[in-house]
Amino acid sequence: MFLVVPKICKISNHVGGNMRSKSVVTWAGVSALALYSSMAVGSKYNFPEPQSVIAKDIYDMHIWLLWICLAIFVGVFGVMFYSILKHRKSLGYKAANFHHSTMVEVVWTAIPCLILIVMAWPATKTIIAMKDTSGSEMTIKATGYQWMWGYDYLQGEGEGISFFSKLSTPKAQIENKAPKGENYLLEVDNRVVVPVGKKVRVIITANDVLHAWWVPALGVKQDAIPGFIRDVWFTADAPGVYRGQCAELCGKDHGFMPIVVEVMAADDYTKWVAGQLSASVVKTSMHIENK
């Protein structure tokens, strides 16, 4: 996004030099885009930078809907505030007496319906895509516990790896006895590691109460339900560390069971798998022989 803005600014300068009316239009376009881009960069005011196809869809859909909402907002309150300013008793304005118009009612029932159809269409496509967990290249089971996550690599490269993932922020930081680090409450002892560009299916369940497995940058959130399994998928676009938190109240330490996903390049991931498997005693020798 940083790259896009200067490029367009350059074009706009060029056009602005040629024609004046056009330059006004271009300026409006540029400022709109700049606003859009500043939203994209400043994740403090918006979703974190999307790192998967679905997260990107959600991100764009949200921005698009905000523009629609803004347009409606300006329209409705433009009329209302004009009326508030002009149609006041203190200005001597005399009240009209109209109170009914079927035509008007029909029109302003129909328009919101049309707007909603425009909103629902892209959402429908994304929902269908989100639900399609077929063709995944690896499967990981995530189990919510009070208060940590357990991970089992069920299928694909890394099959057989199994570990727990707990908050690693020291208690002293939470109790304000030590300065808080950058990833305060968003750091764990064992990260879930996945390869970049592979469709990963996550099977989610819980052991005791409800939890929810949520990684915003990957566009994935799913309740973990004891006794039932649900599944979601993601394909990470780029290597990196993506952090999330439990999103369903699960008791005392609900705020202290983060999720950290580390996305690695394919060969790094292979090395990580080898390291994990050789570290564990059981079942590992067969896997290593196969490789």
Partner 1 sequence: MAAVHGDAHGHGHDDHHPSGIMRWVTTTNHKDIGTMYLWFSFFMFMVGGTLAMGIRAELYQPGIQILEPELFNQFTTLHGLIMVFGAIMPAFVGFANWQVPMMIGAPDMAFARMNNWSFWLLPVAATLLISSFFVPGGAAAGGWTFYPPLSVQGGLGVDLMIFAIHILGASSIMGSINIITTILNMRAPGMTLMKMPMFVWTWLITAYLLVLVMPVLAGVVTMLLTDRHFGTSFFNAAGGGDPVMFQHIFWFFGHPEVYIMILPAFGIVSEIIPTFSRKPLFGYSSMVYATASIAILSCVVWAHHMFTAGMPAVGQLFFMYATMLIAVPTAVKVFNWTATMWRGSMTFETPMLFSIGFIFLFVIGGFSGVICAIVPIDIQVQDTYYVIAHFHYVLVSGALFALFAGAYYWIPKWTGHMYNETLGKWHFWLSMFFFNMTFFVQHFLGLAGMPRRVPDYNLQFADFNMISSIGAFGFGLSQLLFLYIMVNCIRSGEKASQKPWDGATSLEWTHLPCPAPYHSFEKPPIVK
* 120: contact with partner 1 by CB under 8 A: yes
> Of these, 137, 159, 223, 268, which contacts partner 1 (CB under 8 A)?
223
Q: How far is the CB of 144 from partner 1 (least distance, A)?
A: 11
> Of these, 138, 142, 149, 248, which contacts partner 1 (CB under 8 A)?
248
The tokens for 37 are: 């881009």
Cβ proximity to partner 1: between 199 and 243 the closer is 243
Cβ proximity to partner 1: between 108 and 164 the closer is 108
Q: What angle do CA 203, 205, 206 make, to 5 degrees?
A: 155
Helix (H) or strand (E) holding 140: strand 138-145
* 67: contact with partner 1 by CB under 8 A: no
> Of these, 61, 154, 196, 241, which contacts partner 1 (CB under 8 A)?
61
Residues 146-205 that bind partner 1 (CB under 8 A): 173-176, 180, 182-186
Asked, as a colleague might, if the bond just before 147 is cis with ω within 30 of 0, I would say: yes
* 104: contact with partner 1 by CB under 8 A: yes
Choices 9-17, 70-78, 270-278, 279-287 (CB under 8 A): range interacting with partner 1: 70-78
> Of these, 140, 142, 203, 247, which contacts partner 1 (CB under 8 A)?
247
Cα separation, 289 vs 183, whole angstroms? 38
Q: Give backbone dihedrals phi and psi of 222, rounded to 5 degrees, phi first.
A: -145, 130
Q: How far is the CB of 53 from partner 1 (least distance, A)?
A: 11
Contact assessment for residue 245 and residue 257, using Cβ atoms and an 8 Å cutoff: yes
> Of these, 16, 133, 159, 254, which contacts partner 1 (CB under 8 A)?
254
Among residues 261, 286, 118, 245, the alpha carbon closest in space to that of 200 is found at 261
The residue count for binding partner 1 (CB under 8 A) is 90
Q: What angle do CA 197, 203, 206 make, to 5 degrees?
A: 140
* 72: contact with partner 1 by CB under 8 A: yes
* 226: contact with partner 1 by CB under 8 A: yes
Helix (H) or strand (E) holding 264: strand 258-264
For residue 20, CA distances in Å to 27, 28, 34, 205 come to 11, 13, 21, 61
* 251: contact with partner 1 by CB under 8 A: yes
Choices 9-17, 18-26, 55-63, 283-291 (CB under 8 A): range interacting with partner 1: 55-63
Largest CA distance in the chain: 92
Among residues 253, 254, 215, the alpha carbon closest in space to that of 235 is found at 215
> Of these, 6, 45, 267, 281, which contacts partner 1 (CB under 8 A)?
45
